[in-house]
Structure 1
Amino acid sequence: MNCLIVDDEPQARKLLTTYVSSIPGCRIAGACRNAMEAYEALQTGKTDLLFLDIKMPVISGTDFLRSLKNPPLVIFTTAYDKYAMEGYELNVVDYLLKPVAMPRLLQAVDKAWERFKEKAFTVPPPPPDYTFVKQDNKLVKIMFHDIRFVEGMQNYIKIHLTDSVMIVSSTMKAFEKVLPPSQFIRVHRSYIAAVSYITAIRNSQVEMPGMELPIGISYKDDLFKSLGNE
């Protein structure tokens, strides 16, 4: 596990760094003096386990943890046991009192390993197979498999479905970000095609049932790469 240590006390930081680095499977990703340094470290590197002091200047450890959208596993370290309940409310792995004793640290790291393995083997939920678009002051659900192609019209787009056409206030660039890249390909500045509906490519045209779409010169290479014909 990549471990990040955050403590404003130099001696506590040094001791914890020494202890953690001696534990098999633990690698020190960094040692920070405050929450701002920790935030930067979390943005620039991979951290699996955060050793976080609670009582720090400017931003406390608990406030810092609350500010993180997707925090790593956390073990609180502090000289004050009055923060224990707050730590458990934040679903931290463990709570260590200073000065940290090696046997107690090993227990905490063992708990972290259990959670780390659980996270590693947790299957992420499948991505959604639909999106919602605004139509007549309401949101309408569109299944991706019903979209044949999308046509750009300045600040509007036409979504050509299997049985209808919807005009939506959006740009091609914005709507392209919503579509799963494994199912859709930009073939022209004004067209996005559903791969499953493409039947052939001929003479700079994408053939679909009852329809042909032009292939833009700047999109041709990416199209062939996506279809496995580089």
Structure 2
Amino acid sequence: MIKYIIIDDEHIAHDIIKGYCDALPNLSFVQHCYDAIEAMECLRNHQVDLIFLDLNMPKLKGFEFLRTLQNPPKVIVTTAYQEYALEGYELNIIDYLLKPFGFDRFVKAINKIEGSTTTVSNVNVSKETNSLFLRSNKKLVQVKTNKILFIEATGNYVNVTTTEQEIKVREKISDVLDLLPHDAFFQVHKSFIVAKKHINEIEGNRILIRDFVIPIGKTYKLNLNKLLS
């Protein structure tokens, strides 16, 4: 469970962000903070894993506040000011959400936390047991990454085949690959990503996973051999 706070001087921003968070079962609300001073007090008294941080606030600006923290939690910036994006990434923020942002974009930011190896609530979260939230047929589906067998690009969509189901998602295969643990998933063809742990056999230019046959692209074969050696 990811414990979060919202730091923003606008009440409507708190309502939107908390509403989005309430729709995701892996987020646990800690406190509303309306300026950086209030946030500092909250961080002294509570375990916090994630901050949703506005930039243009009274008393102390968002990045000025962030620089005062010795060991800051993960940070997702939520702001109406695009010009500060580069500065934010220099401070190792997780993502930079430009207001107004929709739920789909919000979920992508949360998935970047789920897809990284990090310490959350003092428990080491293994990439292999993390989850992704995928939007399919106007609903969000939570998928455990260790249950994904392979992913196939089909036009403007990808089909995510797991041990239990197949999920069709409107995404680029490259964007999905960025969210997956890089030591557990390999792109083996321009249209296929496979999970290393579920490979049964590699025979010639094809991979066997259960009853599925996955082609290996010529440009990917050498890299695959290096990764598996």
TM-score, with normalisation over the residues of structure 1?
Answer: 0.51
5+ long unaligned stretches in structure 2: 126-229
Q: Residue in 1 aligned with 2:9?
A: 8
1:112 match: secondary structure: helix
Cα offset, 1:58, TM superposition: 1.4
Cα offset, 1:114, TM superposition: 2.6
**Residue deviations 1:89-122, cap 9 Å, x none?**
000000001112100000001111233x433549
Distance 2:118 2:29 in 1: 21
1:104 match: secondary structure: helix
1:3–1:48 CA contact under 8 A, matched in 2: yes
Distance 2:5 2:105 in 1: 18
Q: Residue in 2 aligned with 1:118?
A: 118
Distance 1:9 1:100 in 2: 15
Distance 2:108 2:92 in 1: 17
Is 1:100–2:101 an aligned residue pair? yes
Q: Residue in 2 aligned with 1:29?
A: 30
Matched residue pairs, number? 121
Distance 1:19 1:3 in 2: 12
Output the amino acid matched with 1:68: L
Q: Residue in 2 aligned with 1:62?
A: 63
Is 1:49–2:56 an aligned residue pair? no
Output the amino acid matched with 1:94: D
Output the amino acid matched with 1:103: D
Q: Residue in 1 aligned with 2:88?
A: 87
**Residue deviations 1:74-98, cap 9 Å, x none?**
0001001001001000000000011
Distance 2:28 2:68 in 1: 25
1:5 match: secondary structure: strand
Output the amino acid matched with 1:118: T
1:5–1:32 CA contact under 8 A, matched in 2: yes
**Residue deviations 1:206-230, cap 9 Å, x none?**
xxxxxxxxxxxxxxxxxxxxxxxxx
Cα offset, 1:18, TM superposition: 1.0
Distance 1:42 1:114 in 2: 24
Distance 1:46 1:13 in 2: 20
**Residue deviations 1:48-77, cap 9 Å, x none?**
010000111110110000000110000001
Cα offset, 1:31, TM superposition: 1.1
Q: CA RMSD in A?
A: 1.3
TM-score, with normalisation over the residues of structure 2?
Answer: 0.51
